[in-house]
Amino acid sequence: MLRLALPAGDLRRPLADALTRAGLQIAGYGEGSRSYRLSLDGKDGVTVRVFREKDIPIQIALGNYDVGVCGLAWVEEFLARFPREAVVKLGDLGVGGTRLFVAAAAGSFEALPDVSSWRGVRIAAEYANLAEQFAMAARLPGYRIIPVSGAGEAYPPEDADLALIAAGSEQELRRLGLAPLWRLLEGSAWLIANRESLRAKDLSPVLGPLSPESGSPRLDLPSVASEPRRQAVRGRQERDTLRLALPDGHQQPHAVETLRAASLPIEGYGPGGDRRPKAGIEGLEVKVIRPQDMPQMVAAGSFDLALTGRDCFLDHVYRFPSSPVEITLDLGRAAFDMCAVVSVDLPANTLEEAVRIWETQGRTRLRLASEFVNIADQYARSNHFRRYQLVPTAGASEGFVPEDADLLIEGTETGQTLAENGLKAIDVLFRSTTCVIARKGERISGRRGQLLSQVLERLRRGAAEPSATIEAKG
C-alpha cells in the first residue's frame, strides 16, 4: 500500500489542478471535501490523506506516509530542527509559489540595517526554527523568538522588532504595513518522500506521472554587515494605554457580537478588517492576533486583556503552570466540547471500554493526536495511561485516527465533521467558551486602571446569558 499525504489550505485547489493534469485524479480534493480520507481514481493500491502543511514533513519523516506534497518553507522549517530525519526532497511542482521574508514595520529603517550589534531583538515567527537560523546567521548578540500561530504581520513594531513572514511578494508585505529587509527563501509546493520508502517500495504510481523540477533550494541567510547603518531598535517604554487583544478566525464573529452587546465600539474589527482597529474609547489600544497566541502575550505583559478560548488558555497553563495569566471573565460564547475521539469502528462508548479493548489487542503504547498537545498530555496523565505518544498536529486532525493515532483530542460543536470522517466522541474533557484573560495579580492604577475596570464592566454586560451557552454536545 502506497500512502500519499496532501495539504489542506490555499495549496489545495492549484495542486489538485496540477495532479489532474498529470493524470492523478483525486475526487473531492480540489473541491475542499470535509473528508480527510480520499482515494486516487484508478489506483486501488494508493491511499490519500489530507493534512495541514506543517504536519506533512513530520508524517513523512515518521514513515507514516511514503510521499507527500507541501510548501518548501515547511520542509525547511522541519529540517532546520531535524536535519537528519528521513525526508527526501524530490523536486518543485511549480504551484503555490511563496517567499519567506524578514520584515520590520514600514518606516522603521532608512536602509538595510546592520543587526550585528542589536540586543534584545524580538522576532515574531510562525517558522520559529528558521527564525532561529536567521538570528544565528546574523550573529545577533541577544534575541528572543516569539513563536506565533500566524498573523505575524500584526506584531511589529509594538510587540516585536522583526517578523518572519510568508508572502507572495514584497508588494503584499507593504500592503500589510511591513518593509521587507531580507528574503530568506523562495519556493513552491515540493514533492517529498520517506527515504526508506524510496528504497523499499514501488512509488511509481505517484512519482511516475509527476515530473518535478530538480534543484537545490537553500536559505539565503544574511551576512553580517561591516558598517553599522541602522536606526535604534524601538525602545520599550512604560505604557499609558490599555492594550486589548481581539481574536481573528472562527472566534471573531462571537467577539464581534460580544462587543456589540457590550456597547464597546471597535471600528474596523471584523472579517477582512484591520489588524489595528480603532477603539471608541480614548486610551484603549486594540490589536487582532490569533487566539492561540494570546496567553503567552498576556503573560509577557504585551497586552492587559485578551479575548480567547478556554481551550487556548488551558493549553498554555498546562505547559506553564506558574504562568502569570488567569481568566477574569467567562463570556459564554463560541461554546464547544473538547472531546476524546476514536474511530466509529471501535466498539466502545467510553474511555474505559476503549482502553480495555486496546489492552486486549496488545497495545503497549497509545498514540494521542491533538492540536492542543498540552491538553492531550494532561488528559493522558490524569487518566493514568501507562505509556503514550503525543502526536502534535497543526489542524485537520480528523485525518489521523485510526491509522496514525488511536485517540484524538479535538473540539467539536455539532459532531458533523467527526461523522464525515468516521469518528465519534467517547469522552468530554471540558466545555470551552470565549473568555477574557489578564495578568494574574497585576495592579494597574491611575487612568489606565480606571479604563481597565470600565472595559471589563462593559465586557461583562456583553457576556451571553447562561441559557444561551447550552448547546447540544457531540
Checking if the pLDDT of 468 tops 50, the result is no
Q: How many Cβ atoms sit within 10 Å of the Cβ of residue 339?
A: 23
pLDDT of residue 214: 64
% of the chain exceeding 70 in pLDDT: 91
Checking if the pLDDT of 410 tops 60, the result is yes
Question: Tens digit of pLDDT for each residue in 212-263?
Answer: 776 666 667 765 433 333 444 444 456 789 999 999 988 999 999 999 999 9
Checking if the pLDDT of 391 tops 70, the result is yes
Cis peptide before 324 (omega within 30 of 0): no
Weakest-pLDDT range from 78-92, 113-127, 351-365: 113-127
Q: Which residues pair with 191 in a beta bridge?
A: 69, 91
Chain-wide mean pLDDT for the chain?
Answer: 89
How remote is the C-alpha of 158 from its chain's centroid? 22
Q: How many Cβ atoms sit within 10 Å of the Cβ of residue 364?
A: 8
Rounded Cα gap, residues 433 and 272, in angstroms: 23
Beta strands in 139-260 (DSSP E): 143-147, 162-167, 178-187, 189-194, 242-247
Rounded Cα gap, residues 163 and 127, in angstroms: 10
Weakest-pLDDT range from 113-122, 327-336, 391-400: 113-122
Checking if the pLDDT of 57 tops 70, the result is yes
Is the alpha carbon torsion for 255, 303, 410, 375 positive or negative? negative
- Residue from 369, 62, 45 nearest 206 by CA: 45
Segment (H or E) for 354: helix 351-360
Q: Is 138 helix (H, G, I), strand (E, B) or coil?
A: coil
Mean pLDDT of 133-154: 91
- Assign 66 a pLDDT band (cuts: 50, 70, 90): very high
Weakest-pLDDT range from 9-13, 38-42, 222-226, 389-393: 222-226
DSSP codes of every residue in 370-416: ESSHHHHHHHHHHTT-SSEEEEE-SS-GGGSTTTT-SEEEEEESSSH
User: Residue 39: CB partners within 8 Å, gap ≥ 6?
Assistant: 26, 27, 46, 47, 48
Q: Which domains does the chain have, with CATH numbers?
A: 2-96+188-207 (3.40.190.10), 98-185 (3.40.190.10), 242-335+433-469 (3.40.190.10), 336-432 (3.40.190.10)
Checking if the pLDDT of 471 tops 50, the result is no
Rounded Cα gap, residues 430 and 188, in angstroms: 40
User: Residue 83: CB partners within 8 Å, gap ≥ 6?
Assistant: none
Pairing verdict, β 67-71 and 87-92? unpaired
Which phi-psi region, left, alpha or beta, contains residue 161 (left: φ > 0; alpha: ψ -120 to 50)?
A: alpha
Rounded Cα gap, residues 449 and 452, in angstroms: 5
Query: What pTM value is reported for the model?
Result: 0.85
R_g of the chain, CA atoms, integer Å? 24
Q: How many Cβ atoms sit within 10 Å of the Cβ of residue 237?
A: 6
Bigger pLDDT: 128 vs 364: 128
Query: Taking the chain, what is the end-to-end CA distance rounded to the nearest angstrom?
Result: 33
